[in-house]
Homo-oligomer: A and B are copies of this chain.
């Protein structure tokens, strides 16, 4: 398949915050790559309890090969931009390119490890450790290579390695990712603030003056 042919079938798609990108129940007709924004995968039980089972960042696939439906709902956590391939096109590409196949396989294995690591967070960490873990995850994704807001302000001035980022999640979403309630998340954030581990500007703008201190905070210590 030539590049031109591929390009004819690819299309961009934008999804505003809160938009359902992929319903777990129906057979998807396309597969997408996140160009910008954050996607959350979640499961909701009949009585309304909700658990976010994965966060996906730019570069990751949404949907899966062969169009097997997965029992989770994909929703835009922020405004999201996708690059979408029709399912059939993507399958053809997979069959033609061993390299692409490799990439998909590796990404799937990575997601599996990620999910299992998070099982430890959910099953064995305290609220304090959970919130710290989430902030570390965010710091990692939104600073390193993410297109998403990083160093929104001026060049690093205060501390040599201070880190500023905007949380892509509401308190409710943080709670749903951590298996906590909104209130507990809020309390833990406040606690970290009073202890100087983080600074908060307007609920979503987070400054981490010292990553190491945050890391330490997320490993057992008590205030």
Kindly state the separation between the CA atoms of A151 and B105 in the bound complex, as whole angstroms: 39
A67 to chain B minimum Cβ distance, whole angstroms, is: 12
Instruction: Chain B residues near A179: list those with CB within 8 A.
Output: 122-124
Q: Decide if A208 is an interface residue (CB 8 Å cutoff).
A: no
A105/B65 contact (C-beta < 8 A), A51-B120, A123-B122 known: yes
Q: Decide if A117 is an interface residue (CB 8 Å cutoff).
A: yes
Contact assessment for B64 and A109 in the assembled complex, using a CB-CB cutoff below 8 Å: yes
Binds B, one of A6-14, A41-49, A80-88: A41-49
Instruction: Chain B residues near A90: list those with CB within 8 A.
Output: none
Contact assessment for A43 and B105 in the assembled complex, using a CB-CB cutoff below 8 Å: no
Kindly state the separation between the CA atoms of A196 and B105 in the bound complex, as whole angstroms: 46
Kindly state the separation between the CA atoms of A111 and B47 in the bound complex, as whole angstroms: 26
Residues of chain A touching chain B, judged by Cβ–Cβ distance below 8 Å, are 41, 43, 45, 47, 49-51, 53-54, 64-65, 68, 70-72, 101, 104-106, 108-109, 111-113, 115-120, 122-124, 178-179, 220
Closest 6 CB pairs of A and B: A123-B179, A53-B116, A122-B122, A115-B115, A51-B120, A49-B124
